[in-house]
């Protein structure tokens, strides 16, 4: 029997390793910038083109590499960070795996220029697809310059799975910021397609946060500082009133390394308990210093996750420290009991006689009567007069037809499918509050628990989830607006200004035209700042900027690289955002209109996220429930 197990060629092994370490252009940026930090650079430049697909270049003024070190740097398991297995538990550096450059060189065209401070000449190394093409002396500046061209050129499947340029650029900027935030003592620059995105001079941590996220952030930050025998915590948290509907600026750093930790995130959120509105998220920039022997950072290829030896104690310390800072800086509203406020009512003479007001009531008035003789002239003047348009009259007729004549199909799962007999049964009303429908012209609809609507069908009853029903109606309406030129906008009496981080601004520019199709009018107001002049008619003024944040947040992980595919995602984000505000009690007209508009949708049975909107229960099922 022939042997079937064999060693993989180095090129293939490096490509497999690249699949773990280099998932997208942003992964390359992370590895190269961390290497520059380990090289003790004071100035680091990042230059990218076409979202990193054409070029990723990192230039630093660090220690540089000798000719031999340069050649060794692209070999697998070659590193200057560790020598013994025990060193893994005493790490204060980044690139200890020794796989990054080898993996990157296997899937790109790489050029490295490097010169140590004490050498007159540097060296240039050219590698293509993991194979060394040349290595020659070079007149270059002190430090290292690594250029990565045509990333994934020989792994087309991986390149095809990359997202749009805007999304990939967003990920690159995120990795850039993670490194730049925790290293405020170094200068960073970011250029994309020959445009400067960031120029961050060295300075204190607070100044670095303000330089990245805008001057307005200075007033939003609360200092955090605590030193215990287990760990030291420092940094800043955001004031509760500046919390956002979407998760934005939330950063944990452990021993100067960015990490993801749902455990620590929960600790911070617990400290904000009862200080934030529902589903709002605080900002935080927290650094933790802990003995490296008490953590394990080698549990994930990207080293973004970490395991603590004493998680419970760390959780308690983080929560208590954040809560203490919120109280220490008077973030929690307080009452001044020593204030001498005059709470007495207006002076009234003790001898003043108070006369009880008299109310005249017409006991014969019947608001449901069509006979004008039943109401007094004074009361008739108070009754609003309205004329129903032909369209509204036809809607009333269609409302009755939909439930009286529709064919109802119930499958084994008791899902209900409506099949209107003619096109006149479908309609979409423009207003939630309109008087298109009244109680006499519709089946019995009523609300339960301010969350569900129960309505009649030909063969039983239907239970509708109110909130996701709104989502379906809004989704189809917005999707239709995105595919047509005719839009409904409402000019704002007071235009709304908002600013975006550079990464979000890149993505916003790509969807700006799509937003204008649904009724937004947005103008530039400086670098990464904008002013909203008009909004879609279906959105409230106080929800406009939050809606844009939600849309951008949803688009960050959008898989399509085709900009036309944004329409569906934008419509879905708007539906969730606007639909979420439709909780609570509805009046009769709102209930009737919602039911009517839902069953005139193309897909009334399922939400944009794939959830069931309603459940039908046949009459015989109801009978069996009662007799069981």
In angstroms, rounded to a whole number, what is the distance separating the alpha carbons of residues 33 and 36? 5
Q: What is the pLDDT of residue 384?
A: 42
- Give me 108's structure tokens: 């790109």
Question: Among positive and negative, which fits the CA dihedral 231, 236, 242, 246?
Answer: negative
The residue among 417, 429, 365, 481 whose CA lies nearest residue 593 is 429
Strands 284-290 and 257-259: unpaired
In angstroms, rounded to a whole number, what is the distance separating the alpha carbons of residues 478 and 574? 8
DSSP 355: P
- Is the CB of residue 411 less than 8 Å from the CB of residue 425? no
Report residue 220 CA to chain centroid gap.
Answer: 20
Confidence of residue 80 (pLDDT cuts 50, 70, 90): low
Using alpha carbons, list the distances in angstroms from residue 342 to 235, 334, 339, 345, 438. 42, 19, 9, 8, 50
Q: What percentage of the chain reaches a pLDDT higher than 90?
A: 27
* Highest-confidence segment of 192-196, 275-279, 519-523: 192-196
Which residues share a beta bridge with 233? 226, 288
Helix-helix angle 390-404:588-598, to 10 degrees: 70
> Over 90: is that where the pLDDT of 224 sits?
yes
Q: How far apart are the first and last CA of the chain?
A: 68
- Is the CB of residue 565 less than 8 Å from the CB of residue 468? no
User: pLDDT tens digit string along 143-163?
Assistant: 999 999 999 988 888 888 888
In angstroms, rounded to a whole number, what is the distance separating the alpha carbons of residues 112 and 36? 13
Residue keyed to tokens 């009496």: 493
In angstroms, rounded to a whole number, what is the distance separating the alpha carbons of residues 20 and 31? 13
Q: What is the pLDDT of residue 580?
A: 62
- Give me 4's structure tokens: 């079937």
CA angle 518, 496, 539 (to 5 degrees): 40
In angstroms, rounded to a whole number, what is the distance separating the alpha carbons of residues 424 and 470? 22
The residue among 286, 291, 274, 295 whose CA lies nearest residue 321 is 286
Q: What is the pLDDT of residue 225?
A: 94
In angstroms, rounded to a whole number, what is the distance separating the alpha carbons of residues 581 and 544? 13
- Is the CB of residue 305 less than 8 Å from the CB of residue 259? yes
Q: What percentage of the chain reaches a pLDDT higher than 70?
A: 70
The residue among 451, 233, 440, 443 whose CA lies nearest residue 322 is 233
- Residues 6+ away with beta carbon under 8 Å from 549: 244, 245, 246, 248
Q: What is the pLDDT of residue 289?
A: 93
In angstroms, rounded to a whole number, what is the distance separating the alpha carbons of residues 486 and 500? 28
- Residues 6+ away with beta carbon under 8 Å from 330: none
Edge-to-edge strands of the sheet including 614-618? 445-448, 452-457, 460-465, 614-618
Q: What is the pLDDT of residue 134?
A: 94
Q: What is the pLDDT of residue 274?
A: 82
Confidence of residue 179 (pLDDT cuts 50, 70, 90): very high
> Over 70: is that where the pLDDT of 87 sits?
no
> Over 50: is that where the pLDDT of 311 sits?
yes
Using alpha carbons, list the distances in angstroms from residue 234 to 202, 222, 286, 308, 318. 19, 11, 6, 18, 10
The residue among 422, 388, 436, 410 whose CA lies nearest residue 597 is 436
Range with lowest mean pLDDT among 176-180, 401-405, 541-545: 401-405
User: pLDDT tens digit string along 313-372?
Assistant: 999 999 999 999 998 876 555 444 444 444 444 445 556 566 777 777 667 766 666 555
Using alpha carbons, list the distances in angstroms from residue 456 to 94, 392, 404, 409. 64, 22, 10, 15
- The rounded mean pLDDT for the chain is 77
The residue among 416, 418, 398 whose CA lies nearest residue 407 is 418
User: In this predicted model, which residue has the larger pLDDT, 99 or 250?
Assistant: 250
Residue keyed to tokens 């908002």: 498
In angstroms, rounded to a whole number, what is the distance separating the alpha carbons of residues 599 and 420? 9
The residue among 175, 197, 74, 199 whose CA lies nearest residue 132 is 74
Q: What is the pLDDT of residue 377?
A: 45
> Over 80: is that where the pLDDT of 49 sits?
yes
Q: What is the pLDDT of residue 202?
A: 96
- Is the CB of residue 611 less than 8 Å from the CB of residue 453? no
Q: What is the pLDDT of residue 444?
A: 82
In angstroms, rounded to a whole number, what is the distance separating the alpha carbons of residues 419 and 425? 10
- Give me 107's structure tokens: 């899937």
CA angle 359, 364, 368 (to 5 degrees): 110
User: pLDDT tens digit string along 471-496?
Assistant: 888 888 877 766 665 566 788 888 88
Q: What is the pLDDT of residue 386?
A: 43
> Over 50: is that where the pLDDT of 392 sits?
no
The residue among 468, 409, 489 whose CA lies nearest residue 601 is 468
> Over 60: is that where the pLDDT of 33 sits?
yes
Report residue 384 CA to chain centroid gap.
Answer: 45
In angstroms, rounded to a whole number, what is the distance separating the alpha carbons of residues 128 and 244? 45
Confidence of residue 428 (pLDDT cuts 50, 70, 90): very low
User: pLDDT tens digit string along 524-578?
Assistant: 887 778 888 888 776 665 667 777 777 787 776 554 444 445 677 777 777 776 6
- Is the CB of residue 464 less than 8 Å from the CB of residue 416? no
In angstroms, rounded to a whole number, what is the distance separating the alpha carbons of residues 145 and 32? 10
Q: What is the pLDDT of residue 324?
A: 92
- Rounding to the nearest 10 degrees, give the CA dihedral for residues 96, 99, 102, 105: -100
Q: What is the pLDDT of residue 301?
A: 59
Q: Give the mean pLDDT of 406-430.
A: 37
The phi, psi pair for 620, rounded to 5°, reads -65, -30
In angstroms, rounded to a whole number, what is the distance separating the alpha carbons of residues 497 and 503? 18
In angstroms, rounded to a whole number, what is the distance separating the alpha carbons of residues 211 and 204? 11
Q: Give the mean pLDDT of 280-307.
A: 80
User: pLDDT tens digit string along 563-590?
Assistant: 445 677 777 777 776 666 656 788 888 8
């Amino acid at each position: 029997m022939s042997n079937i197990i064999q060693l993989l060629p180095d090129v293939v092994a490096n490509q497999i390793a690249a699949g773990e370490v280099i998932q997208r252009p942003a992964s390359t940026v992370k590895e190269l910038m961390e290497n520059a930090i380990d090289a003790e650079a004071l100035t680091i430049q990042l230059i990218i083109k076409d979202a990193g697909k054409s070029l990723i270049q990192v230039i630093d003024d660090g220690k540089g590499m000798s000719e031999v070190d340069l050649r060794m740097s692209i070999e697998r398991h070659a590193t200057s960070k560790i020598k013994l297995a025990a060193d893994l538990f005493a790490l204060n550096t980044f690139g200890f795996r020794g796989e990054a450059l080898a993996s990157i060189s296997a899937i790109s065209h790489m050029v490295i220029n490097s010169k140590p401070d004490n050498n007159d000449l540097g060296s240039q190394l050219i590698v293509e697809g993991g194979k060394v093409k040349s290595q020659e002396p070079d007149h270059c500046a002190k430090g290292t310059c690594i250029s990565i061209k045509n990333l994934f050129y020989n792994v087309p499947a991986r390149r095809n799975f990359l997202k749009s340029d805007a999304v990939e650029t967003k990920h690159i900027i995120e990795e850039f910021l993670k490194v730049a935030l925790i290293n405020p003592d170094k200068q960073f620059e970011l250029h994309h397609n020959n445009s400067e995105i960031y120029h961050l001079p060295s300075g204190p941590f607070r100044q670095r946060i303000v330089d990245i996220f805008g001057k307005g952030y200075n007033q939003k930050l609360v200092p955090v500082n605590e030193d215990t025998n287990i760990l030291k915590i420092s940094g800043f948290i955001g004031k509760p009133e500046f919390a956002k509907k979407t998760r934005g600026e939330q950063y944990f750093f452990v021993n100067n390394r960015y990490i993801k930790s749902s455990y620590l995130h929960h600790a911070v959120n617990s400290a904000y308990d009862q200080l934030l509105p529902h589903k709002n998220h605080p900002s935080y920039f927290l650094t933790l210093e802990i003995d490296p022997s008490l953590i394990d950072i080698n549990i994930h290829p990207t080293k973004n996750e970490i395991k603590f030896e004493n998680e419970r104690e760390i959780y308690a310390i983080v929560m208590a420290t954040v809560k203490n800072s919120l109280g220490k800086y008077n973030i929690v509203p307080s009452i001044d009991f020593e204030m001498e406020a005059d709470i007495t009512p207006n002076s009234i003479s003790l001898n003043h006689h108070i006369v009880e007001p008299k109310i005249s009531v017409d006991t014969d008035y019947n608001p449901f009567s069509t006979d004008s003789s039943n109401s007094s002239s004074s009361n008739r003047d108070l009754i609003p007069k309205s004329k129903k348009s032909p369209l509204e009259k036809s809607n009333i007729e269609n409302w009755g037809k939909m439930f009286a004549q529709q064919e109802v199909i119930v499958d084994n799962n008791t899902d209900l499918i409506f099949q209107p007999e003619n096109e006149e049964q479908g309609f979409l009303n423009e207003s939630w509050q309109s008087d298109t429908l009244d109680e006499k012209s519709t089946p019995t609809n009523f609300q339960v628990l301010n969350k569900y609507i129960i309505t009649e069908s030909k063969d039983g009853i239907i239970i509708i989830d109110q909130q996701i029903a709104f989502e379906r109606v809004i989704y189809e309406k917005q999707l239709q607006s995105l595919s047509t030129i005719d839009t409904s906008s409402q000019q704002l009496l007071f235009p709304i200004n908002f600013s975006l981080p550079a990464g979000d601004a890149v993505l916003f520019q790509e969807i700006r035209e799509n937003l204008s199709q649904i009724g937004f009018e947005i103008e530039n107001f400086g670098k990464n700042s904008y002013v909203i002049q008009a909004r879609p008619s279906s959105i409230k003024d106080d929800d406009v900027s939050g809606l844009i944040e939600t849309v951008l947040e949803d688009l960050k992980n959008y898989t399509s690289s085709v900009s036309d595919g944004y329409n569906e995602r934008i419509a879905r984000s708007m539906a969730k955002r606007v639909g979420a505000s439709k909780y609570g009690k509805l009046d009769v007209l709102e209930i009737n209109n919602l039911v009517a508009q839902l069953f005139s949708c193309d897909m009334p049975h399922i939400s944009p996220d794939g959830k069931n909107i309603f459940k039908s229960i046949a009459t015989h099922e109801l009978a069996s429930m009662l007799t069981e």
